[in-house]
Structures are given as C-alpha cells and as structure tokens.
A = this chain, B = another copy of it.
Amino acid sequence: MLHASYSTQRAPGLAKAKRTLKWQRDPEGMRLRILEAAKQEFSAHGLAGARVDRIAAKAGANKRMLYYHVGNKDELYLAVLEGAYDKIRSEERGLDLEHLDPPEAIRRLIEFTWNYFLRNPEFLSLLQTENLARAKHLKKSTKVKSMHSPFVEMIRTVVRRGVESGDFQVAVDPVQLYISIAALSFFYLSNSATLSVIFGRDLLDKKAKDERLAHMSGLVLAALTGRSAELLEIVKAPKSRGAVVQTV
C-alpha cells in the first residue's frame, strides 16, 4: 500500500531473489488505517465537509480502497460512528462502579467522562455531526442500540445503593443523571471555541480545566447529597459572611 517501494526476500536461499515491490498486501491494516483516517476527517470537517480523497491520502491509500474495504462515504461514516460508541462504552465497563462507595462512584464517572472527552475530541465532533443529521445514520445501526442498557443499569444500581446508604437524598432517574453528567462535560468542551470567544477567556488552559472538573463534581454531588459546602471546590470567602466562594 505504501507508495515507497522496497526490497524483500522472495524465498530463503535464493541468492539474488531480491525484488522491488510496488506495494504490499495488508487488507486488515488497510481497513484500520482507513477507519482511523476517516475518523479524523469526519470529526474535523463533518459529514458534508469531509473529503473522500483526503481520507484516502491520510490512510496512505487510494480512493478506490475505501470503496473496496468499507463502502461509500455514508457507510464509511457509520462504521466510524459505531466504532466510536463501541470504544467509550467498552472503557466505561472497566470503571467498576459497583464496588465503590456511591458518592465516590459518581465522582469517578464524572471524572472518567470528562477525561474521556478530553482525550477523544473526535468523539465529541462525531456526535455533534450525527446530531446535526438527526441521527439519520445511527438509526440504521443495530449494534449500537444494544450496548447501552447495561450501562444504564450500572448507574441505576449506584443510585439505589446511595439512597439506601443515606448518602443520596434523592433517587434520580439514571438516564437523566447520566445525561446531565455528560452534558456538563460535553457542552463545555464541544462549545469551548464559541464560549471562549464570547466570554473572553481561554476555557481550555490547565487552570480552567481543573476548575471545571471541580465545579462539575461539586454541582452533581452537592445536589445528590445536599452538602454543598463540603463538595464544591471552595476557598474561604474574604468578605462574604460565612459562605464559601468557589475559586474564580
């Protein structure tokens, strides 16, 4: 596949059996490189903005290869999307929330979500793109629908345990809770470009990110447990009487 030609031994023992190959077969590797390149391209430019030729070039391949190994632009896009969901849900399964103290489990879910979004900005872009298309492609996927009920049950169990132990004062709907947790990170990061412009401050520098994580954890845990002061990232207020002030 690589355009650079190279030498190889045709068979051991043949003295002058070296040949210059124009390309090498590697269907699996090619497919992976195509999907990776497509992920980059679709997340960077959206569905309509993505260019099939750029994907091919980035994959070190020929445009024809995309159609050969995956399919047309839409099928390629759906494959990328399914892969993205698969990856995050699979990492989430490793969180092991069942064996944590409920408040700790929620905190861990928040931190994981935040860090996952930070580490995988293409995931955010892909979801944005797909939502702009009103999930037209995702609806065709059979795989994706099934991966989410275990995840919801995991959260439901944590909430129930928290209520039973007295840590949580309310038994919120796990879907609402997860949507809220995802929302707090997702919106901040996916909209950081416009937010940084309108509020005139860089929301992605280290300090801002640390503050955001503290704010989100504080908000959710304070709401669940009813202990605002303990949970919000705080600092002694210089002039407000008795209340605490969140950093900046």
Contacts and interface: CB of A to CB of B under 8 A. Distances in A.
A133 B109 CA distance: 29
Contact of A144 (B45, B164, B168, B198): B198
A134 B128 CA distance: 13
Given A226-B227, A241-B164, A215 B135 contact: no
For the residues of A in contact with B, the DSSP-based class is helix
A152 B128 CA distance: 26
Q: What number of copies of this chain does the assembly contain?
A: 2
Interface stretch (A28-36, A52-60, A182-190): A182-190
A197 B144 contact: yes
A105 interface: no
Question: Which of under 10, 10 to 19, 20 to 34, or 35 or more describes the interface residues of A?
Answer: 35 or more
Instruction: Please name the 9 residue pairs, one residue from A and one from B, whose CB atoms are nearest each other, closest first.
Output: A183-B187, A48-B49, A135-B193, A169-B228, A222-B223, A226-B228, A171-B245, A48-B48, A223-B223
Interface of A: 45-49, 85, 125, 127-135, 138-139, 144-145, 147-149, 152, 160, 163-164, 166, 168-173, 175-176, 179-180, 182-184, 186-188, 190-201, 211-212, 215-216, 218-220, 222-229, 232, 234, 237, 240-241, 243-248
